[in-house]
Amino acid sequence: MIVGYNTDIKYRQEVFHIQTEDKGQGNPLIETLVYLHGEILLSRRMSYAHLLQTGDKVKKVKSLMKTQHDQIISELKEGRFTHLIAMDTQNIEDQTLDEMVLEYLSKENP
């Protein structure tokens, strides 16, 4: 088993924890989990069974782990996981619900 990566990323006033780990040769998977408030929002797994019989597999697996970890961080920063975040944690506006409703109604009925 290869040591993985752990990174905290701030996005939309929330701190996400991204964890990537090797599941070991008995279960040749690279798994990346994205956590928010201790809850798993996303998991991504990639098999590396095809590398088990190759030379220098540790270096190759480590490279795949880093690539997958960095890709998830990039996707998070690009907003690709926004749909997974509960609306009540998305600080979209600094308005009360009443203010948002009044604004919406004023646009509908000028």
Q: Which token pair is 80?
A: 């690709």
Mean pLDDT score across all residues of the chain:
85
Residue 14, φ and ψ in degrees, nearest 5: -120, 150
Give, in order, the Cα–Cα distances in Å from 53 to each of 45, 56, 58, 90: 20, 10, 11, 46
- Write phi, then psi, for 86 (nearest 5 degrees): -60, 140
Query: Could you read off the pLDDT of 61-99 as tens digits, one per residue?
Result: 999 999 999 999 999 988 888 777 765 544 555 566 777
The domain of 43 spans 5-108
What pLDDT score was predicted for residue 48? 94
d(CA 41, CA 36): 7
Q: Is the overall model pTM greater than 0.75, yes or no?
A: no
Number of domains in the chain: 1
